[in-house]
Amino acid sequence: MWTAALLAIGIDGAAMPASDVFPGVGDFRLQKIHRAAGESEWPFVAESGTLLCALILRKPAVYFVPEVGGAPGRAFVIDNDITKMAFANIGMTDVLEPYDNFEQLLKRLIPYVTMGKRLCNQPPGTNVSGSEL
């Protein structure tokens, strides 16, 4: 019965590693990013931050942690699914630069979502120092 229920919700079976469901600290990959001089499509209010990626239910989940006043802020989910972002980031209104419409927001975010997903191809615990991805 449980196997049928798990398969119905998209889980390939109950015997998956716990780190594929709920990642631990060592399961994340990190990359520092910052706004380039004159960059007009930078989507974030903070001038710099860290992209994080971990596999959750075997799918990459990408986050941006803004660096505000030299200290890291709260993780903000970035994704090309606006609805997913809206629910995951309820109450966080000071992370993104103002945008005119969702098309403009996606145009700004998709390069960072793509970079974050490529980051998930690296081994867990990787800390990328530059813009290699």
What's the predicted TM-score (pTM) here? 0.80
**Average pLDDT over all residues of the chain:** 84
Residue ranges per domain, the chain? 29-124
Question: Per-residue pLDDT tens for 73-84?
Answer: 889 999 999 999
CB atoms within 10 A of CB 106: 17
| pLDDT score recorded for residue 1 | 42
Question: Which residues in 68-84 are b (16+ Cβ under 10 Å) and which e?
Answer: beeeebebbbbbeeeee
Question: Per-residue pLDDT tens for 100-116?
Answer: 999 999 999 999 999 99
Closest by alpha carbon to 65, among 104, 24, 21, 95? 95
Once rounded to an integer, what is the mean pLDDT over residues 57-67?
Answer: 92
Tell me how far apart the alpha carbons of residues 130 and 133 are, in angstroms, rounded to a whole number: 8
pLDDT at 31 over 90: yes
Tell me how far apart the alpha carbons of residues 124 and 27 are, in angstroms, rounded to a whole number: 5
52, 63 contact by CB (below 8 A): yes
| pLDDT score recorded for residue 24 | 82
Tell me how far apart the alpha carbons of residues 108 and 90 are, in angstroms, rounded to a whole number: 20
